[in-house]
């Protein structure tokens, strides 16, 4: 695989990971209108599943936990 192709794949993966995390953060903000996450633990679990799906780095995990 060329370095250009690898860079494109990495950029796509990073964008999709960020988008997935931003989606659950938005859902958490709407929690007052409808129940999406009953508590912070459910929110963290949902985020961790996303991080596992994308094989997140330690820095990405720290970034997410900073959102909690």
Closest-CA residue to 18 (of 8, 7, 30, 26):
26
User: Residue 1 — pLDDT band, cuts 50, 70, 90?
Assistant: low
Domain chopping of the chain, boundaries: 3-67
The more confidently predicted of residues 1 and 46 is: 46
Tell whether the model's pLDDT for residue 30 goes beyond 80: no
Q: What is the mean pLDDT of residues 5-25?
A: 90
User: Residue 20 — pLDDT band, cuts 50, 70, 90?
Assistant: very high
For the entire predicted model, the pTM comes to 0.72
């Amino acid at each position: 695989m060329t370095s250009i192709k690898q860079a494109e794949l990495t950029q796509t993966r990073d964008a999709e990971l960020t988008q997935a995390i931003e989606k659950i953060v938005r859902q958490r903000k709407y929690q007052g209108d409808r129940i999406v996450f009953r508590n912070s633990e459910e929110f963290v679990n949902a985020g961790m599943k996303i991080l596992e799906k994308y094989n997140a780095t330690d820095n990405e995990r720290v970034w997410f936990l900073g959102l909690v």
